[in-house]
Structure 1
Amino acid sequence: MSRMLPIIRKEFIHILRDRRALMIAFLTPVIQMIILGYAATTDVRNVPLAIFDQDRSHQSRALITAFVQSGQFTAHAYVKSEQELAALIDSGQARAGLVVPPEYGRAVTAGRNADILFILDGSDPSVASSALASARLIGASLATGVREEMLARRGATLATMPGAPQVRERVWYNPDMDSAVFMVPGLIGLVLQFQATLLTASAVVRERERGTIEQLIVTPIRPYELMVGKILPYAVVELLVVGEVLLVGTLWFGVPIRGSLLLLVAIACLFLVSTLALGLLISTIARTQFEAFQLSFLTLLPSVFISGFIYPIDAMPAALQLISKVIPLTYFLVVVRGIIIKGVGIEALLPQIMALTAFGVALLTIASLRFRKRLD
């Protein structure tokens, strides 16, 4: 013990002197607990609903109101054709669609069965199963209300009433609602996010700790050239990781790639620029590899929960939904799931491509500006 005490004392002195690392070590768990406490919810609410009302009657409006007032759905858009409705679901802007037939109001008034079509994006089984159960419950509740109203007018019994709204479901993309179809494509973005950021987060810090930063300072290389030079080797490694994950997902889990593989790889390169640049930015802020590691997890873990990898963004508070818009993983998850599960093309992914391009340019520029070719 007498030999250990000096070592323990030295380590305590080292920890107390490094106040930045100590502050990060204490603040990181608190921030993560606060964010994840709100984001980690399995409740499915405010599912974006595309509505194609071909009847536009009092009865159809009452039907739509019943869906919206349930709290499970929000009226995202009113469309004029099934093609427009399908485009919204393909792009991920709507997670479900409600199609009301032209004669819906007359059928309800006449006491005939009135079928409505409820289309569901099954790429996320957790959201799809909850939304499907809610739609069935809303349809059954509305049917009971219509029957009771007609019973009161006609004086008939509830068992003799023939007509009521009937919800007919149709699940797209993942009819069996297999969770692997949803999770495996998302793992591509998750693996890239973790590895790329952690690999580059210690890049500049490692140079400083090993004393090789002086060699970089005396060279005529520009800051952005240094940043790009450090990114490229890791980008090659991560692209190989993308191929590896795709092979495992396809061969092992049986998840087919329905869209263009070339488009997926091209957009993955944009995402890699963002994640690698984020790691370099962290390395220009941190002074030690421990700080770089802590700062990386400060950004990585919350992004997993807020980006929509596990929990639906629509169910989160408005503040967290706003934060999710500045996380590159949020946009790449839409891309990878859209291409692999839905088979969509570049037209449906243009907003995500533009966002990833902006993130990559901005983060790489900030990292280059923060790097100083001088000793701190």
Structure 2
Amino acid sequence: MNAVTLAWRALRHTPLASSLNLLLVAIGIAMMTFILAVSAQLEERAERDATGIDLVVGAKGSPLQLILSSVYHADIPTGNIPEGTLAALAAQPLVKSTIPLALGDNFHGFRIVGSTTALAGHYGARLAQGSLFTQPMQAVFGARAARETGATLGASFAGSHGLAAGGELHQHAPYTVVGILQPTGSVVDRLILTPVASVWQVHETDPDEQAAGSVAAPAAPPERELTAVLVQYASPLAAIYLPRWVNSQARLQAAQPAFEAARLFNLLGVGIDVLRAIAAGVLLVAALSLFVALYGALEERQWDMAILRTLGASPFKLLRLLLAQGLLLSLAGAAIGWLLGHAGIGILESMQDLNLQPWRILAAEAWLPVIAAAVGLLAAAIPAARAYRTDIAATLARP
């Protein structure tokens, strides 16, 4: 009978202690798996969504809020800017390309984004069905937005006021679905794209807004506005001069996605480090608990160990027996913890729109079984060393 079989039977002899130790190891590994996978995927997604966007021009306010609302579509905008800002930026020799954004409405919680077809092209989105929009009040759905709303080609829908579900419906200006995009793994998957003119038309023809405006009877029609403009530099010099020029304008501010994303992840990094420390603490507690269990089991089974020695078991075999118990518990706990960690990512993805891949395996996860094995071996080291030095005569002579 080999050491692994003996170790398994020994663990089965103390089911409660073994189960508790297994659970502690599993919780620690699950926390580490969850933290590693979620933080890595969120950072990758942030970099992917901001790729090719060197500058965001929007209304004055928080630069981070401007980036979150215009690049990641995860916050409310800082305000609106004049329509003429787009032409002014496009005329700058330091600007390679511009993409306008007009926000304000949603459909079942998915944002309706007024823009140009260049926004879909920027993220490498391809059509799964239909075509891109060519005129106002046509809409193209991202893959996730189409899947969760049940959008089909030719269907009509009305947007809700605001960027969260539950706002007032704009029944007077329905959109028509003309296209559905293939999945890209980027932010465009959860957007509904339409021409900027659609957003203007919806609000300019809103009976409630017209009624409110008729009271004041303005002499001239209000200036049309955008929410933000995404800018790509034509030259590295633009990073020096263009933000300064934008910030000198009375209503405009410039925010750099790379800088703001780095600042955001630095802030989040503190919390992630704390969670990692907690997970390491749980593993340390698991190691101590495993040590106490194995040491206690050795105290209770000294007679059995001595009998094994008299039957021909070498000291090295007793050493391997205790080490095998520690390894079995730690590696089994690692396997269960890995499954729990990835299942937790799946639950998080079902609750939050984070575009996570629950069962994607990261290279960093290869260290988790090694860490678990080290925990098991360290916990079993002292009991195993004591078993190795078992004095047969002294043990059997005890009453």
TM-score by length of 1: 0.28
TM-score by length of 2: 0.27
Structure with more strand by fraction: 2
Structure with more helix by fraction: 1
